[in-house]
């Protein structure tokens, strides 16, 4: 998992988790109450839903 020491590190951590197909690492980047809207306008809330949205891709 990529270390995040400052906010600017978040995109690289997301990219590293995504490219490694590591959904646990991807989920760890989000607050449990986070929301996410993908480029198609699909809205989800919470880490489980965020991971579920991305896992099939």
Question: How confident is the model over 24-52, as pLDDT tens digits?
Answer: 999 999 999 999 999 999 999 999 999 99
* Residue-wise pLDDT tens digits, 11-27: 999 999 999 999 999 99
pLDDT of residue 35: 98
- CB within 8 Å of 3: residues ≥ 6 apart: 9, 13
| pLDDT band at residue 2 using 50, 70 and 90 as cut-offs | confident
Is 4 a residue whose pLDDT tops 80? yes
Report whether 32 contacts 38 (CB < 8 A).
Answer: no
| Token reading at 8 | 């600017």
- Per-domain residue ranges of the chain: 7-54
């Amino acid at each position: 998992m990529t270390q995040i020491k400052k906010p600017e590190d978040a995109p690289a951590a997301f990219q590293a988790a995504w490219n490694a197909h590591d959904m646990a690492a991807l989920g760890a980047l989000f607050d449990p109450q986070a929301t996410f809207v993908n480029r198609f306008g699909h809205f989800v809330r919470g880490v489980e839903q965020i991971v579920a949205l991305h896992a099939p891709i």
